[in-house]
Amino acid sequence: MRRISIFGATGSIGQATLDLIGRERESCHVVALSGGRNIARLARDARAFGAEIAVTAHEELLEDLREALAGSGVEAAAGREALREAASRPAEWVMSAIVGAAGLAPGLAALEQGATLALANKESLVSAGPLLMATARAHGGTVLPVDSEHSAIFQALLGEDISAVERVIITASGGPFRDWPVSRLARATLQEALNHPNWVMGQRITIDSASMFNKALEIIEARELFGFSPGQIEVLVHPESIVHALVGFRDGALMAHMGAPDMRHAIGFALHWPKRRELPVARLDLAQLGQLRFERPDEARFPALRLAREVMAAGGLAGAVFNAAKEAALDAFIAGRIGFMDMAVVVERVLAEMSSAGGLDGGAPTLDKVMAADHLARIKAGEIIAGTNRQEA
C-alpha cells in the first residue's frame, strides 16, 4: 500500500487528485487530507478514503470538523501547527495543493521525511525555491512539478542532458483579457477576471491567469525547479492551451508537450512517475483543432512578466516579497478595494520600498527569514492599498 497525503484536498487540484486516487483505491492508503472552510467536503472525502487524519486550516472550525467526522475513526485537527504535524507523518507521496505561501511549511515538512512531493503550490517555490530544493536534497525527498507547463518541461527533458538545453518556452493562454487595451483592463471586474477561456481552476489562480501574475510565478518556478537562467526562459501566448511548454536544445530541436487542458494529466504523471499509466484525459483531435496560434506577450498590458524578471535579478528574498505582495493585492482586488491594473502597481511599489530598505537581501534562506519577509511585504502592501483608497476617496 502506498501512503499518500493531500494538502489542499478540497480545492480544484486536490479534488482532481482524489479523482485519480479513487480509481486505484486498492493500492493507496490515505494518511492526511487538509482543507479550509469547506468542512463538509473535507469530512466527506476523509470518510470515503478512510484517512487517518483530516486537518482544517481554521482553528475555529475544529469543533465542526470533529462533529462531521464523529464515529468515522478519522482524527480531526486544525491550524497551522496541525498542518505541519500531519505533513510530517510518514507518507511516500504528498500532494501540495494549498494555494498561497501557506503551502510552504507543510511542503517542507513532507520533504523532511523524504517524501515525493507533487508540487502544485508554485507559491512555495517562488517564495523559497532554494530552501525547498535544498531540503529535498538533504533528506532524500523528491520534488515533482504539478503545473501543466512544468510537468511538460519535465517530460520533454526525460532522457536528455540538461546542459544541452538552450531555452524553454512556457505558454500562456492569455486569459480572458488577451486582446483588451489597458484602458479597458483598468476597469476589469472580478466577474470578468474569473471568466477563463480554457481552464477550470481555483478562484485565485484564475485571476492570476487573467493578470499574467500566474505566468510571472511560473517563470520563477521554472528557474527554481530546473535551474535555468532567467534569459533561457521565454513566454509565448498560445490561446488554444494545447502546447503546454517547449524545450529547445542546442541542435535547434524544439520538443513540445501537447495535451488537453486537464490538470489530471500533470497530477497523474507525478502520481505514477517514473512510469506512465493510462489516464482518464481527453485525447486530442488535431485535425479538428485545425490550427495552433502563438503570440508574443505584451508586457505593457501585463507588467507582472517584467516584475518576474526583476525579482529573479534581485534574488535573495525578492521572491517571497513578490509572492506575498501579490497575494495581498489579489485579496484587495477580490474585495473590490483596488482595480485590476493596480495589483501590479502595488506589487512593484512593495518591491521598490523593501529593496531600498535592504529588505530583499537575506543571505542563506531559512523558513523564518522567508516568513518574516512575507509578513512585512503584506503589511507594506496593506499600507499602499489603504493609501490608494484614500487618494480615490
C-alpha–C-alpha distance, residues 134 and 108, integer Å? 10
- CB nearer to ligand NAD: give 301 or 326: 326
18 contacts ligand NAD (rule: CB under 6 A)? no
C-alpha–C-alpha distance, residues 116 and 220, integer Å? 21
33 contacts ligand NAD (rule: CB under 6 A)? no
199 contacts ligand NAD (rule: CB under 6 A)? yes
Tell me the window of 31-39, 145-153, 177-185, 355-363 that interacts with Mg ion (CB under 5 A): 145-153
Least distance to ligand NAD, CB of residue 26, Å? 26
Three-point CA angle 293, 297, 299, nearest 5°: 170
Least distance to ligand NAD, CB of residue 121, Å? 4
Tell me the window of 58-66, 139-147, 171-179, 228-236 that interacts with Mg ion (CB under 5 A): 139-147
C-alpha–C-alpha distance, residues 109 and 76, integer Å? 19
147 contacts ligand NAD (rule: CB under 6 A)? yes
Tell me the window of 63-71, 115-123, 126-134, 188-196 that interacts with ligand NAD (CB under 6 A): 115-123
Binding track, positions 260-279, relative to ligand NAD; x by CB under 6 A? ---x----------------
Residue whose C-alpha cell reads 507594506 in the numeric block: 380
201 contacts ligand NAD (rule: CB under 6 A)? yes
Tell me the window of 99-107, 159-167, 181-189, 288-296 that interacts with ligand NAD (CB under 6 A): 99-107
Residue among 45, 147, 327, 374 that touches Mg ion (CB under 5 A): 147
